[in-house]
Amino acid sequence: MNTTSAPAAAPAPAAPAADAELILVPEQQELKVGERRRLMMMLKTDAPLGLVAATLRFDPRTLAVRTVSGAVLSADKAGAPLVTHTIDPRGVLVVSVAPASGATPLAGEGLLLIIEVEGLAAGEGTISLDADKVHFVATDGRSVRAMAAVPARLKVVQ
């Protein structure tokens, strides 16, 4: 009886790590108390993404997050991404974005989310990404590094 075993298959080479970045761009940097402004969250990635999750922090004394809506960031314009979010009144917005079932992954560079904020009281309002709580999941299994993000600064006036 021959007990030789077949040679083990070599592991598949790991895909190189990728970079991804979220950028917050205010529609305007000044708003009056009671006014609403849009903040665009842009995504730039060199990997196909199946999930983007982030935590943003803001000063709830000067700003309130009123709405969060998704934008189409894929070649498949029919499959708008699925957006889920929670807003904590203490100044925390947690958001996740994933491609719709059967849609192409999030890739390239473009508008990911629109966040509508309202000025509550005069002062400097900042919305920033919590660097430790930004996660990207690539559909091809490679690791994705989150690049540093600059906070969006808004000035609320009377």
Tens-place pLDDT, residues 35-70? 999 999 999 999 999 999 999 999 999 999 999 998
The model's pTM is 0.84
Q: Which two tokens stand for residue 58?
A: 């803001």
Please state, in angstroms and rounded to a whole number, the distance separating the CA atoms of residues 72 and 67. Answer: 17
Report the pLDDT value the prediction gives residue 72, as an integer from 0 to 100.
62
Residues listed for the chain: 158
DSSP annotation of 103? S
Report the pLDDT value the prediction gives residue 101, as an integer from 0 to 100.
87
Tens-place pLDDT, residues 105-123? 999 999 999 999 999 999 9
Q: Does domain 19-139 have CATH number 3.90.1150.10?
A: no
Query: What is the arithmetic mean of pLDDT over 141-148?
Result: 92
Q: Which two tokens stand for residue 41?
A: 């969250």
- Single-letter amino acid, residue 64: A
Query: What is the arithmetic mean of pLDDT over 127-134?
Result: 93
The closest of 34, 81, 39, 99 to 62, measured between CA atoms, is: 34
Please state, in angstroms and rounded to a whole number, the distance separating the CA atoms of residues 106 and 84. Answer: 15
Report the pLDDT value the prediction gives residue 15, as an integer from 0 to 100.
65
Please state, in angstroms and rounded to a whole number, the distance separating the CA atoms of residues 100 and 76. Answer: 10
